Amino acid sequence: MTGNAAPDHGASPNSPAPETWTVGKILDWTTQHLKKHGSDTPRLDAELLLAHCRACPRIQLYVQFSEPVTEAQRTQMRDLVKRRAAHEPVAYLIGYREFFSLKFEVTRDVLIPRPDTETLVVEALKLLRELPAPRLLDIGTGSGCIAITFAKQVPKAEVVAIDLSPAALAIARKNAKSNGVDARLTFLEGNLVDSLPAGALFDVIAANLPYIADEEMDGLDPDVRLHEPHLALRGGPKGLSLIARLIPLAIPFLAPEGWLLLEIDPHQGPAVTGLLQEQAYRHIRSAKDTAGDLRVLLAQRPLTP
């Protein structure tokens, strides 16, 4: 086992006897291999991949270090490690991602849920948890992580989720069912608010729209640029095309004291704040993610003339 080749998890040609590849040895080798190939989280990647191959919770690996890995598991692991070293995201390789301690199926049709987006959910919960029957609209739902998490956290909520992509909606529906909230969610196919019935009102409209500027797409990490759907990433010049369109369109669908919540790039704060001010939104404020970066802008519906 030399160089950058993926391990065969078997005997070295010069070994006097076959080498036993245990859970611990495979984790150690894979961690170093993925580190050399640019992974920011090589140990976590190794653990998630091996747990997937062994069909066990990741935490169980810690009590299985000395256990041998079967030939079938080694074969599957070799393929996954090779693909991960070529920048294919772990979430697509194992087919799911955790978000807010819930499990979400993901495919190349949806953006992989990220911890940054949990900030948006937290802020929505702060606003709506105490309402008797809160109404939330999730625009650009993708995997459904925002809508489903909110429905799970607030059983009395009415939740509507919209996406332009039929393939993304199919994944979101599956995730709603697997998380036990499919009976309380309504999914609509459409562009921003165009599929909403006239007169629909929501206490919160949450949107994690594409906000990567066109000119920044080529500079994204290969994991994102080569594998995640550009429809969910590309936000036009300066990354604000869809956000700028939604801000005025959302107003008629907000309850009188309703809030618009937007996930943004930290550098877009001043520009998006300006767009909200132009439409007379009130009480504009921001929320930071766990890294301390501005991640969500909150703004209350303009006063009715």
pLDDT 10s digits, 68-89: 999 999 999 999 999 999 999 9
Phi, psi of 116 (to 5 degrees): -55, -40
Rg (CA), the chain: 22
* Average pLDDT over every residue of 133-152: 97
**DSSP code for 140:** S
Give CA angle at 245 (239, 247), nearest 5°: 105
Domains 1-86 and 109-300 share a fold: no
CATH superfamily of 109-300: Vaccinia Virus protein VP39 (3.40.50.150)
Q: For 1-86, CATH number?
A: 1.10.8
Q: Is residue 166 within 8 Å of 221, Cβ to Cβ?
A: no
pLDDT of residue 8: 54
Interstrand relation of 185-189 and 102-105 (parallel, antiparallel or unpaired)? unpaired
Task: Read off the pLDDT band of 104 (50, 70, 90).
Answer: very high
User: 31 Cβ partners below 8 Å, 6+ apart?
Assistant: 42, 43, 45, 46
The whole-chain average pLDDT of the chain stands at: 92
The C-alpha atoms of residue 134 and residue 279 are separated, in whole angstroms, by 24
- pLDDT surpasses 80 at 25: yes
pLDDT of residue 109: 95
Q: Any idea where the domains of the chain sit in the sequence?
A: 1-86, 109-300
What are the CA-CA distances from residue 106 to residues 29, 97, 163 (Å)? 27, 7, 15
Q: What is the pLDDT of residues 153-202, one digit of tens each?
A: 999 999 999 999 999 999 999 999 999 999 999 999 999 999 999 999 99
